[in-house]
Amino acid sequence: MNTPTETARQAVPTTGAHDPALLDGLFMQDVTMLLGDGDDTVRALDSVHLTVAPGEFAAVVGPSGSGKSSLLAVAGGLAVPNSGTVTVAGRPMTAASRRARTALRRDLVGFVFQSGNLLPALTALDQLRLPTRFASAGAVKRDPMELLAEVGMAGKADRRPHQLSGGERQRVGIARALVTGPRLLLVDEPTAALDQARSRDVVQMLARETRRHSVATVMVTHDTEVLQYCDSVYEMMDGALSRV
């Protein structure tokens, strides 16, 4: 059986024509994005190539200001690059109108933020129920209680964020991101607010959920300790991405 990384390599032919519409997971080809204007223009992404297959857990490291947030924004259709191709499950995240991009993002992409970003007034269970209400009719919806159980939070389903620890909030955030059955999971510094043991737990959980749900996951991190749980590691430097 192929590892996710081998599948990822095979997914992009090195020669000849290929059709991004046939590629599952995340596919980014020759993506360049300029930010700012005039003398202050920055090449936030510089000819970036990245393929992440379903079930693959990819990490992106790099210094502050190197373009990691820009990469997540473009992959998730929150920003449009100046040039290049970005597809998720074969659907174009670049060419579509803002409205179409919003719909694609809602149905195909899950986001996990630094500190969970939960809504203070909602219980853990309601954090997961909310996005299922906004998902389109055809979108996959997973059972919120089952997902909470998967991340070890079934016993605390009725707790609000202030009644949870940082690691627990992050688990709920991961479950929430998965409840609409995304094909791409974008994770921004999930361990920034956690100690080493909890960081490991959370990242191991991300690795497990990535495989279980066959989602392509991209995690930005400064935490080199957790890279051992990832299938592939990339480094961002002045907007250019290279495999480590």
Ligand X SMILES: Nc1ncnc2c1ncn2[C@@H]1O[C@H](COP(=O)(O)OP(=O)(O)OP(=O)(O)O)[C@@H](O)[C@H]1O
What is the Rg, in whole angstroms, of the alpha carbon atoms belonging to the chain?
17
- At closest approach, how far in Å is the CB of 216 from ligand X? 20
What span, in angstroms and rounded, lies between the C-alpha atoms of 205 and 18? 34
Question: Is the CB of 42 or the CB of 227 nearer to ligand X?
Answer: 42
Question: Is the CB of 180 or the CB of 234 nearer to ligand X?
Answer: 234
Question: Is the CB of 51 or the CB of 70 nearer to ligand X?
Answer: 70
Q: Which of residues 103-162 bind ligand X (CB under 6 A)?
A: none
Question: Is the CB of 44 or the CB of 185 nearer to ligand X?
Answer: 44
**Distance (Å) of CA 232 to CA 6, 60, 94, 151, 160:** 10, 9, 24, 23, 35
Q: Which of residues 28-87 bind ligand X (CB under 6 A)?
A: 35-36, 42, 44, 62, 64-70
Question: Is the CB of 63 or the CB of 155 nearer to ligand X?
Answer: 63
What span, in angstroms and rounded, lies between the C-alpha atoms of 173 and 152? 12
| Interstrand relation of 42-52 and 26-35 (parallel, antiparallel or unpaired) | antiparallel
Question: Is the CB of 94 or the CB of 180 nearer to ligand X?
Answer: 94
Determine if 190 is a binding residue for ligand X (CB under 6 A). no
Question: Is the CB of 70 or the CB of 210 nearer to ligand X?
Answer: 70
- At closest approach, how far in Å is the CB of 236 from ligand X? 6
- At closest approach, how far in Å is the CB of 58 from ligand X? 16
Phi-psi region of 224 (alpha: psi -120 to 50; beta: other; left: phi over 0): alpha
What span, in angstroms and rounded, lies between the C-alpha atoms of 116 and 189? 10
- At closest approach, how far in Å is the CB of 63 from ligand X? 7
- At closest approach, how far in Å is the CB of 142 from ligand X? 30
- At closest approach, how far in Å is the CB of 220 from ligand X? 7
**Site residues (CB under 6 A) for ligand X?**
35-36, 42, 44, 62, 64-70
